[in-house]
Structure 1
Amino acid sequence: MGSSSNAHPLPTPSTPAGRDGLAALLARPRKAVVGLDFDGTLAEIVSDPEQARAHPGTVPALAALAPRVASVAVVTGRPAGVAVRYGGFAGVPGLDHLVVLGHYGAERWDAATGTVKTPSPHPGVAAARAELPGVLDDVGAWQGTWIEEKGQAVAVHTRRASDPQAAFEALRDPLAALAARHGLILEPGRMVLELRPPGMDKGVALSEYVREVEAEAVLYAGDDLGDLPAFAAVEKLRSDGMPGLLVCSGSTEVSEVADRADLLLPGPPAVVDFLALLARHL
């Protein structure tokens, strides 16, 4: 490490496993995968998901970091192409080692080729989408809720409702029943309920990708319930002998993520600062 990196030490993880994970990443960066959630981790949570954009420092930080590691993988529930657009990842020098695993890994965009690989949508998604307005109406939760089309999934946001938490709780059981009728699962998040096919989660996506690139260390940063499968995947990899670091992008809304993290960072600006500092230390 040069004197410039010593002047700004990296934050120290609070757990022995986290400290081991960071040490392994620093020792063998070319064998490390850096996995990152998008919304709430690289982009601030906003009331309209279509207005979400990566923090301004994200692309420079990732362009500095990606060439120094095996890969940077953005793992998101969004369609891969949407995350690429909202992240500003396309056509950026230095991002050749970036992939976006969209729809929980069902879609994949590679910066090196600029192309997205997409599977056929699950038929249950369209069927559930058709019934959603009626379900919202029956529950009396139509006002202020918002349906987001995600291609491989469909989501109902309650953040704009007059009482977001009450709307979220009122919809939870009816949407779980709707999902079950059409062979889908319900994934709750921060004031959002998503209906999507089973077998798609961030843990599966991250584990498969880490194996594919033959990584020897892994970092994952997330902020929401949908990130817990990725946390569990890193914990499983650690139990199998691979060092790993779990980072929580600070949220008072989701204590389950903070409780399992090795390192707490207060939101996207701090996550981006950490990634830029990590790149300097490598």
Structure 2
Amino acid sequence: MGIPVPSTAAGRDGLAALLERPERAVIALDFDGTLAEIVPDPDQARAHPAAVPALAAIAPLVGTVLVLTGRPAGVAVRYGGFADVPGLEHLVVLGHYGAERWDAASGALHTPEPHPGVAAARAELPDVLRATVAAQGASLEDKGRAIAVHTRRATDPQAAFDALRAPLHALAARHALIVEPGRLVLELRPPGMDKGVALAQFVRDVNAETVLYAGDDLGDLAAFGTVEQRRSNGQPGLLVCSGSAEVTELADRADLVVEGPRGVIDLLSALAGALR
């Protein structure tokens, strides 16, 4: 299978730079919707069966493979099946939008102290959901350092999502948190860190030249922004959207749109084949 051709000149330049100097490249990937299919119950999400083999094939050929997710890093490692996989020694997982880090080479997990506002919001959230009639069927996902409210299983998912925006923003403001919207999910988390900040810091630390970033949701827009900022400074990059009709903003800014996690995996496999 050949590598799909990016639709933009900047994307084609980014792809060329990755292929010419892979040792200076970071391949950064979201988890849910990018390596794993979106499912109604987030606790049931698992990496696509072909994801780990594709990652193990590409990881030894580039500088670093990075998984950047809003999930806790340890959860992403378990749900991804990333631990103790030959070939994944260069894999790093940044969880909670960069607040947590797991390194495959050592198996070490580094986590900060939780923000006190998360515990306070956690205690109030059940009452907020009960008071929002349209939110019937919405569910909570406790991420430890963040709390996500999912409306995908609500009676009317979009109506529940829309009805919860205002009360969740008010709750977040009371406890010095922010609300991160996504694909039928609203996440309350501490401010000051997002995927753009985390990606920028990581690529500086490893002195990367080229960055490929693949994502599927609104939270990935900040990472897209980091790659776009680097490109404005002459540093090549490639933006990939794991296609979703639910988030058109990402597809509009991407250099390459692929068909969900299977498309991302096919792209990684094609890159590995070319680099061999």
Taking structure 1 as the reference length, what is the TM-score of the superposition?
Answer: 0.97
Match of 2:209 in 1: 216
Residue 225 of structure 2 aligns with an amino acid whose one-letter code is A
Match of 1:254 in 2: 247
The equivalent residue for 1:89 is 82
Deviation at 1:251, TM superposition (A): 0.2
For 2:261 and 2:137, the matched residues in 1 are separated by: 26
In the alignment, the residues of structure 1 paired with residue 145 and residue 193 of structure 2 have an alpha-carbon distance, to the nearest angstrom, of 10
Structure 1 unaligned spans of 5+? 1-7
Measured after TM superposition, the shift of residue 276 of structure 1 is 1.0
- Return the match for 2:71 from 78, 98, 113: 78
Taking the aligned partners of 1:140 and 1:112, their CA distance within structure 2 comes to: 48
Give the aligned partner of residue 4 of structure 1: none
Q: 2:105 corresponds to which residue?
A: 112
Question: Is residue 2:168 matched to residue 1:197?
Answer: no
Determine helix, strand or coil for the equivalent of 2:179. strand
Q: Please give the root-mean-square deviation of Cα atoms over the aligned residues, in Å.
A: 0.7
Residue 198 of structure 2 is aligned to residue 228 of structure 1: no
- Deviation of residue 262 (structure 1)? 0.2
Deviates more, 1:139-148 or 1:114-123: 139-148
**Which blocks of at least 5 consecutive residues in structure 2 are unaligned?**
none
Question: What does residue 163 of structure 1 align with?
Answer: 156
* Contact 2:36 2:46 survives alignment (8 Å): yes
Question: Which whole-Å CA distance do the structure 2 matches of 1:267 and 1:220 have between them?
Answer: 14
Residue 20 (structure 2) aligned to one of 24, 27, 46 = 27
Q: Determine the structure 2 residue equivalent to 1:154.
A: 147
Q: Does 1:58 align with 2:44?
A: no
1:47-91 deviation line (CA, Å, top 9, x unaligned)? 000000001111000001011111000000000000000000000
Q: How does 1:37-56 map to 2 (within 5 A)?
A: 37-56=30-49
Quote the offset at 1:143 in angstroms: 2.5
Give 3-state SS (helix, strand or coil) of 1:218's partner: strand
Partner of 2:136: 143
Q: Distance in 2 between matches of 1:93 and 1:138?
A: 50
* Distance of 1:111 and 1:140 partners within structure 2: 45
Counterpart for residue 256 of structure 2: 263
- Alignment size in residue pairs: 275
Identity among equivalent pairs (%): 73
1:149 alignment partner AA: D
3-state SS of paired residue (1:199): coil
The residue type equivalent to 1:187 in the other structure is E
Other structure's SS at 1:221 match: strand
